[in-house]
Amino acid sequence: MAANEQHYTLDLPSFDQPVKILIVVAPYYKDIADELVAGAKATVEAVGGTWDLVEVPGALEVPTAISIADKLSNFDGYVALGCVIRGETTHYDTVCNDSSRALQLMGLQGLCIGNGILTVENRDQAVVRAEAKGQNKGGGAAAAALHLIALSRKWAAPSKGVGFHTDAIKLAGQPDESKKA
């Protein structure tokens, strides 16, 4: 049974500068969403980060809300939360695939997103995965976003500053006038 299997998880990263996370949740199954959010909040707070929380109607709206926030706000990363339980129609496949694909495409464009939208066969599977004291998939999604933020900060180009630099002259093959007496 998957609930009993142990998985390796990375230690949470540490940050020199504060981290600001937007948690976007679709509370269609409110009790499950509340557990996911609790886990995400605790994980962000564990690294000294801050979070804002917004609710959207469903899993398909989560990526759109993140995209809007990325254009209009200043978050370092995003946590996508919700739950999709298989029903009697193929709508399940559409919601699961399209929400996941949209989040992945934004991630490939450089957004730091942890995907905690559960895609399960039944409510029991969702509860096991959502519980903050259980599998804590909300906390795992927050940890994923935090790790991506840490990588983006690590690999960010150092600021070149503004104005004229003598290094630019050297690169252009011109003599460095500052060393002439």
pLDDT digits (tens, 9 = 90+) for 112-141: 999 999 999 999 999 999 999 999 999 999
Which helix (H) or strand (E) segment holds residue 147: the answer is helix 137-155
In this predicted structure, what is the pLDDT of residue 5?
72
Q: Are 54 and 60 a contacting pair, CB within 8 Å?
A: no
| Active-site amino acid positions | 91
Indicate whether 87 pLDDT > 80. Answer: yes
Indicate whether 179 pLDDT > 60. Answer: no
In this predicted structure, what is the pLDDT of residue 77?
98
Q: Are 51 and 41 a contacting pair, CB within 8 Å?
A: yes
Residue written as token pair 């559409």: 94
The whole-chain average pLDDT of the chain stands at: 90
Mean pLDDT, residues 11-27? 97
- Count of residues making up the chain: 181
Q: Are 85 and 121 a contacting pair, CB within 8 Å?
A: yes
Indicate whether 169 pLDDT > 70. Answer: no
